[in-house]
């Protein structure tokens, strides 16, 4: 069986520590623990005594042509020293740029074109981070609401080459793939979303995949938003099953970041992930 | 460094943050795939989704750091303030806990708010200090070092204060206003009376264990602490604040974690 965990957010801190439900790991957003001290770090250290912790970043901006923020990298390194996480991850996105001589951070995960130039920047930044942290990074595919010009290859070729060149692992967010395919269809550019997503999963080098993310999304009239604010959608569960068949028993995380439900709902989603795994291994 | 990719990324950030700047949207559009009419509509919608996400993030982040300002000006003005701060002082780092300090400056520049509530900027300044103190480095009191206070020459001694310690001399009863909102002590009615009486308060922010604390400074305490923070010796710090009752202050300062140690000339 693969390890299954949940994203651990502030409203659930106390309940998880007191109840200690059976989970293989918990995940937190690294940036929420960048302080030098204080209650948040103490609580995380307490949780670490019970659970392996995965540090998931949203701010490195690994694809930024402006490079990696040294302060950010040092804070992450200090947190890793303190927590000894089971995995460290961030996204294949850009976030930093210099405007009028002043650095800016988008506080969002902005897309990259899939070409040599972006790959070169991404590989260089991932290498720098891995060398500083002295550990392998996992890099996650995005949900993107705009498509930048200049791509000359598929996203899976791009990510596969990133893994090959840097030795990083890939974190496959199944919900992100599905959201992208729904949005491509809304933009008049998409075939059958499920079939497209299965092809996406099939095209990725299986040996490079180190983790899977599952989350909910929000369907509006004119766009689908990856808001992590609801249960995992049925098509995403189907894709998860396909992903496990393709990638094997990789650790899986259920994320929920907005409109947080009671902890029991997240645990229920984690149980469903285990049930899907069991089904896959039983039929293997 | 790649000029093409850098330009593309700058164009997208500019379109997100300064869409009214001439050519910002047109420049970004030149970097976006939108060959079909549906694609044209969709990329604009995508841009809007990123902008909305940023504004929601700004409100959530700011509300966590400034609960009293939010309560004082109400949700509509606070949302407007958060959007304005996001535009005028955008984040420069990936840790949003670092973003939001210029709120006091922004509030001070808005007469429509400060005429009615002239203490808002000071409240914001102190709330930011509380926010920063919450994640300041942990400090263990060095109790053995306090023997230096009895044995050492004050001219050769320096005090070690709580990390995150902050002092503000305000012309308003800021400690009373904030504590009334956060702790209910004093009551809001009492804080209102102090405001009407035009009571000025000096404020001390520090961390007691894991909890950020705030109180009105004792007579001369703010001046004394400012001198200690500047690195002045105990003797010079005391000289700068003749009204300060150091002996009466010492025990409670140690007990509350405001004072965590003393250093002699060789340390």
pLDDT score of B2: 44
In this complex, is the C-beta atom of A104 within 8 Å of any C-beta atom belonging to chain B?
yes
This prediction's pTM: 0.94
Boundary residue ending a domain (B71, B96, B118): B118
Give chain B's radius of gyration (CA, Å).
24
- A31, A36, A37: best to mutate for the B interface, most B CBs within 10 A: A37
Query: In terms of domains, do B136 and B261 share one?
Result: yes
Q: Is A63 helix (H, G, I), strand (E, B) or coil?
A: coil
Pairing state of beta strands A218-219 and B158-161? unpaired
Together in a domain, B42 and B76: yes
pLDDT at A189: 74
The model's pLDDT over B53-67, given as tens digits with 9 standing for 90+, comes to 999 999 999 999 999
Domain CATH number, residue A194: 3.20.20.150
Beta pairing partners, A260: none
Please indicate whether, in this complex, the C-beta atoms of B38 and A187 are within 8 angstroms of each other.
Answer: yes
Burial of B155 (0-12, 13-18, 19+ CB in 10 A): exposed
pLDDT average, residue stretch A37-56 = 98
Q: For residue A104, give the chain B residue with the closest CA.
A: B92
B-chain CB neighbours of A142 within 8 Å are: none
How many residue contacts between A and B have a Cβ separation below 8 Å? Answer: 171
Cβ contact, residue pair B31, A149, below 8 Å = yes
Does the pLDDT value for residue B238 go beyond 90?
yes
CB contacts of A222 in chain B (<8 Å) are: 41-42, 45
Of B85, B118, B151, the position where a domain reaches its end is B118
Alpha carbon dihedral B30, B92, A99, B55, in 10-degree steps, equals 50
Cβ within 8 Å, pair A65-B49:
no
Higher pLDDT, A136 or A100: A136
Residues of A in contact with B208 (CB under 8 A): none
A66 touches chain B (CB under 8 A): yes
Is residue B252 domain-resident? Answer: yes
Confidence check: pLDDT of B19 > 80: no
Give the pLDDT of residue B93: 96
pLDDT at B34: 66
Q: Which value does ipTM take for this structure? A: 0.94
Q: Which residues of A touch B134 (CB under 8 A)?
A: 35, 38-40
Per-residue pLDDT for B95 more than 70? yes
Q: Contacts of residue B9 in chain A, CB cutoff 8 Å? A: 64-66, 94, 97, 110
Structural domain ending residue among the three candidates B103, B118, B133: B118
Residue A176, CB-side half-sphere exposure with 13 Å CA sphere? 20
Contact between chains at B2 and A145 (C-beta distance less than 8 A): no
**Dihedral sign of CA atoms B173, B176, B182, B188 in order:** negative
Establish if A10 touches chain B: CB-CB under 8 angstroms. Answer: no
Residues B136 and B266 in one domain: yes
The verdict on a CB contact (< 8 Å) between B94 and A69 is yes
- Give yes or no: residues B42 and B147 share one domain: no
Chain A residues touching residue B46 (CB < 8 angstroms): 144-146, 183, 223
- Chain A hits for B96, CB-CB cut-off 8 Å, are 31, 107
The answer on B107 and B157 residing in a single domain is: no
What residue of B is the nearest CA neighbor of A58? B94
B250 shares a domain with B152: yes
Residue B68 lies in a domain: yes
Domain that holds residue A16: 4-282
Domain shared by B139 and B263, yes or no? yes
Q: What is the pLDDT of residue A84?
A: 98
B197 domain residue, yes or no: yes
CA of A119: which chain B residue's CA is closest?
A: B5
- Same domain for B136 and B42: no
Banded model confidence at residue B35, pLDDT cuts 50, 70, 90: low
Is pLDDT at B266 greater than 70 in this prediction?
no
* Total count of domains within chain A: 1
Please indicate, yes or no, if residue B241 is contained in any of the structural domains: yes
Q: Does A182 touch chain B (CB under 8 A)?
A: no
Q: What per-residue confidence (pLDDT) applies to A91? A: 98
Q: Are residues B204 and B224 in the same domain?
A: yes
Domain that holds residue B111: 33-118
Same domain, B84 and B140: no
Going by the DSSP 8-state scheme, the letter that residue A218 receives in this structure is E
Q: Are B157 and B215 in contact (CB under 8 A)?
A: no
Q: Are residues B40 and B66 in the same domain?
A: yes
Contact B45 A223 (CB under 8 A): yes
On whether any CB of chain B is under 8 Å from the CB of A77, the answer is no
Q: CB-CB: which of B14, B94, B210 is closest to A99?
A: B14
Average of per-residue pLDDT across A70-98: 98
Rounded CA-CA distance A213/B168 in Å is: 46
Whole-angstrom Cα distance, residue B216 to residue B262?
A: 24
Cis peptide leading into residue A237 (ω within 30°): no
CA distance B195 to chain A (A): 32
DSSP string, B169-231: EESS-HHHHHHHHHT--S-HHHHHHHHHTT--EEEEEEEETTEEEEEEPPTTHHHHHHHHHTT
In a domain, B12, yes or no: no
CB spacing of A37 vs B45 below 8 angstroms: no
Cα–Cα distance, B113 to B255 (Å, whole number): 39
What does the pLDDT look like over B7-18, one tens digit per residue?
A: 999 999 999 988
**Confidence grade of residue B267 (pLDDT, cut at 50, 70, 90):** low
pLDDT, position A218: 96
Q: How many domains, in total, are found in chain B?
A: 2
Q: Are B40 and B165 in the same domain?
A: no
Q: How confident is the model at residue B22 (pLDDT cuts 50, 70, 90)?
A: confident
């Amino acid at each position: 069986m693969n390890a299954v965990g949940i994203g651990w957010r502030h409203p659930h801190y106390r309940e998880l520590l007191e109840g200690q439900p059976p989970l293989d790991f918990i995940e937190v957003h690294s940036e929420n623990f960048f302080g030098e001290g204080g209650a948040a770090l103490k609580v995380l250290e307490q949780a670490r005594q019970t659970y392996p912790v995965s540090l998931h970043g949203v701010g490195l901006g690994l694809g930024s042509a402006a490079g990696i923020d040294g302060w950010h990298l040092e804070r992450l390194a200090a947190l890793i020293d303190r927590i000894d996480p089971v995995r460290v991850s961030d996204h294949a996105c850009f976030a930093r740029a210099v405007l009028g001589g002043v650095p800016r951070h988008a506080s969002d995960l902005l897309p990259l074109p899939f070409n040599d130039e972006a790959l070169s920047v991404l590989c260089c930044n991932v290498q720098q981070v891995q060398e500083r942290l002295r550990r392998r990074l996992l890099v996650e595919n995005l949900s993107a609401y705009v498509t930048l010009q200049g791509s000359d290859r598929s996203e899976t070729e791009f990510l596969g080459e990133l893994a090959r060149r840097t030795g990083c692992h890939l974190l496959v967010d199944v919900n992100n793939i599905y959201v992208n395919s729904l949005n491509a269809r809304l933009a008049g550019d998409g075939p059958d979303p499920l079939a497209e997503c299965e092809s996406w999963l099939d095209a990725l080098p299986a040996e490079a995949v180190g983790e899977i993310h599952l989350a909910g999304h929000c369907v509006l009239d004119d766009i689908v938003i990856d808001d992590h604010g609801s249960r995992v959608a049925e098509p995403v569960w189907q894709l998860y099953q396909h992903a496990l068949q393709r990638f094997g028993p990789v650790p899986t995380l259920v994320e929920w970041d907005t409109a947080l439900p009671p902890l029991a709902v997240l645990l229920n989603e984690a149980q469903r992930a285990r049930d899907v795994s069991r089904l896959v291994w039983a039929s293997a | 460094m790649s000029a093409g990719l850098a330009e593309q990324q700058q164009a997208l950030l500019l379109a997100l943050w300064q869409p009214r700047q001439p050519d910002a949207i047109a420049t970004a559009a030149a970097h976006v795939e939108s060959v079909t009419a549906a694609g044209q509509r969709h990329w604009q919608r995508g841009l809007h989704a990123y902008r909305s996400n940023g504004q929601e993030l700004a409100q959530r982040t700011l509300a966590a750091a400034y609960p009293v300002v939010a309560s004082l000006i109400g949700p509509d003005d606070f949302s407007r303030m958060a959007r304005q701060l996001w535009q005028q002082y955008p984040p420069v780092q990936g840790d949003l806990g670092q973003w939001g300090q210029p709120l006091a400056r922004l509030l001070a520049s808005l007469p429509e708010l400060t005429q009615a509530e002239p203490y808002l900027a000071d409240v914001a300044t102190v709330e930011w200090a509380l926010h920063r103190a919450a994640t300041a480095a942990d400090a263990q009191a060095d109790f053995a070092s306090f023997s230096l206070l009895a044995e050492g020459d004050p001219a050769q001694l320096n005090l070690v204060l709580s990390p995150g310690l902050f002092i503000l001399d305000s012309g308003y009863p800021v400690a009373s206003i904030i504590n009334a909102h956060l702790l209910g002590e004093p009551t809001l009615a009492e804080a209102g009376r102090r405001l009407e009486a035009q009571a000025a308060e000096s404020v001390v922010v520090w961390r007691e264990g894991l909890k950020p604390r705030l109180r009105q400074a004792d007579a001369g305490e703010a001046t004394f602490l400012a001198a200690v923070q500047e690195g002045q010796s105990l003797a010079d710090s005391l000289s700068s604040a003749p009204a300060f009752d150091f002996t009466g202050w010492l025990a409670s300062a140690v007990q509350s974690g405001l004072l965590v140690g003393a250093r002699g000339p060789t340390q």
